Structure 1
């Protein structure tokens, strides 16, 4: 072996030993409150990645969409056609708020979605529940942030993961969460005149 290879191997062995020591202390398990927020793309996509992991492990899970209407999306169509026995999928919104332009109706639909979400979260058979774009419903005062946090703290089963997505996550949710990821917008094709495209956005 060359001196460079020996130095590299020694460095990696030292790093592995330190990492193993850290990992040995991480023994607890719990149902997590997970928030995906920020102006960048990928919040729902990352959340659906976790839903598909649950499906792959044959773990019962559920999705409640707070804003999106009944338009066809890849993840929705795939789950409904192939995995509806493992993942309950509920599209409760009627489209983006600037399209509906009816706050009372949007509030009514968001409240119905929140009621459905509570039922799904209370069911210990569901190992993960995705509340897609609930942060937007909270931002527009369709759903109360303090109520959401109080419910999660009081009634979420200990081993159930709940994922909440959408821009502008409320400070209460961020404080209550175990894992928060903020998607940062660096560059987006929409600004260059490129529309939302199948397979990328939906």
Structure 2
């Protein structure tokens, strides 16, 4: 499967999405933390890297919430038993509900980048810091765009039309983010020039 991303996420949204991605992986087949991390990396890892600890933390929460359950304990030499998990009926329902529900239209307003920018502009009143942040963020988006375009070429070569369509959407979002950063920089420069006059 080709890697996809739709841009930045806030921490709560990312955590919920990690949980749902784990539910989807467990809907395919039961698995343990290390294996699920490898499967996640294959599907999304190039664009959305996770630490192994994030997998285990989310598995604990999903188990506590009754969305997954222990499928088997597998003995390992000189290591703790490996816990294999499977989806519960409640987990299947949670996954089905998440998949069939549209994403919130207000996602961007709670985004970490927006909050940083609002803080720099409205609290700290330090426009130069905003300019620095815009340039750093532009570099990240350009890197994401190159990765997405590479992944799109791979998906089209297979051909994997649905993944290609998802990647096109991610590319359009990233291009829109870059355009927005350019416009913010233009506004910032105009404001700084007016202040210097």
TM-score by length of 1: 0.29
Q: Where is the strand percentage greater, Structure 1 or Structure 2?
A: 1
Higher helix share: 2
| TM-score normalised by length of structure 2 | 0.30
